[in-house]
Amino acid sequence: MKNGAEPLRVACLGAGYFAGFHYEAWRKIDRTRLVGACDQGRDKAVATGLAAFTDLASMLTMAQPDLLDIITPPQTHYEAIKLAIEHGVNTVICQKPFCLSLDEAQAATRLAEDAGVTLVIHENFRFQPWYRTIKQALDTKLIGDVLQLTFRLRTGDGQGPHAYLDRQPYFQEMPKLLIHETGVHWIDTFLFLLGEPSAVYADLRKMNPVIKGEDAGYFVFDYDNGVRALFDGNRLLDHAAENCRTTLGEALIEGTEGTLALTGEGSVKLRRFGDQAEKDLLAAKKWPGFGGDCVKNLIAHVVDGILDGKPLENQAREYLRVIVIEQAIYDSDRQERKIRDFAHA
């Protein structure tokens, strides 16, 4: 530990399917110590091997964490953040989607800011190694001026009456699925790679009749410099990968001097303009954890920010832009027009 300081005490709210990636990641992070797990299902909390709780207030009182990691659905977020602040927690990481609405997310953000509590949203796709590699390539003008970014989401898990039931059955009941649950990752990723768009357009549809929400569609970001970013999502189709959940799809980033290609195995390939040959900027490998270990990468980023004072990405105030743009996407689809006035929503 730096200067002999005590490890950062970490408690987690939630012990469901995806929470497993969080517990696994925390156990790999230096300078931290897990001190509690809370879940409505006591057996799930006990299975983490930590001090188990079914009541968040009790865990916060008894475990006295410095950091609370919220890994539960949006309807729990506001009260969990409020309780954490009341119990003197200094840092909160909250899974996405962040709260139930923009108004609630804004209220939670104000609570944290007023209390001087660091609130980071666990939007981890920008921490996947392929997007960090792509960002570095863009920042160094490796492909010249970017003209087009395209991502094709092809999860291959959305066909038939049993779609999603083996892993995340609540997907079938979500009134908003493709964008709110999944496409939101690329709202944030596009912001990370290209910055703030000036307009959005969307065309969404439902293809599997057994689910409530949309499971296919497009959204396009316009940029003032003429660049376009396209998200082309279809949860019923797959892509060429041993595991479709590694990258969830494929991407092309095209510039005046070359093209970057993200494959389903997590490699990033560079092809110079006019050439046929490609070279690896990031080679495919057997990636640990989820999505290139992006859960661990985000958590490590937050720990470095707290303990070393490094700049933090995805703090709640910044992340509100993602929610605003998500709303504009749904507005565009409903109104069948391009939305330009979301910047002041």
Name the nearest CA neighbour of 154 among 133, 178, 189, 123. Answer: 178
Mean pLDDT of residues grouped by 10 in the chain (345 residues)? 73 96 96 98 97 98 98 96 98 96 97 98 98 98 98 97 92 95 97 97 98 98 97 98 95 98 98 97 93 97 97 97 97 97 64
Give the pairing type, strands 52-53 and 32-38.
Answer: parallel
Name the nearest CA neighbour of 268 among 124, 142, 123, 122. Answer: 142
State the pLDDT at residue 105: 97
DSSP at 117? -
H or E segment and range at residue 120: strand 118-122
State the pLDDT at residue 3: 46
Per the structure block, which two tokens stand in for 194? 């290209």
State the pLDDT at residue 229: 98
Helix axes 129-139, 184-194, angle to 10 degrees: 30
Give the angle subtended at the CA of 134 by the CAs of 96 and 26, to the nearest 5°.
40
What is the domain partition of the chain in residue ranges?
A: 2-122, 126-291+323-335
CATH classification code of 126-291+323-335: 3.30.360.10
Alpha-carbon distance 174 to 158, whole Å?
13
State the pLDDT at residue 152: 98
Alpha-carbon distance 182 to 293, whole Å?
18
Do residues 266 and 240 make contact, with C-beta atoms less than 8 angstroms apart? no
Per DSSP, the residues of 31-43 read TEEEEEEE-SSHH
State the pLDDT at residue 1: 40
With tokens 């840092």, the residue in question is 91
Alpha-carbon distance 119 to 105, whole Å?
11
Hey, CA dihedral for 97, 99, 101, 107, is it positive or negative?
negative
Residue 188: CB partners within 8 Å, gap ≥ 6?
123, 125, 126, 314, 319, 322
State the pLDDT at residue 2: 42
Alpha-carbon distance 99 to 108, whole Å?
8
Architecture of domain 2-122: 3-Layer(aba) Sandwich (3.40)
Per DSSP, the residues of 2-52 read GGGPPPEEEEEE--STTHHHHHHHHTT-TTEEEEEEE-SSHHHHHHTTS-E
Give the pairing type, strands 216-222 and 91-95.
Answer: unpaired
DSSP at 339? B
pTM: 0.94
Instruction: Give the distance from CA 9 to its chain's centroid.
Output: 24
Judged by DSSP in three states, 269 sits in strand
State the pLDDT at residue 5: 74
Alpha-carbon distance 255 to 277, whole Å?
16
Alpha-carbon distance 22 to 130, whole Å?
20
DSSP at 311? P
Do residues 183 and 177 make contact, with C-beta atoms less than 8 angstroms apart? no
Per the structure block, which two tokens stand in for 35? 């001190």
Alpha-carbon distance 83 to 71, whole Å?
15
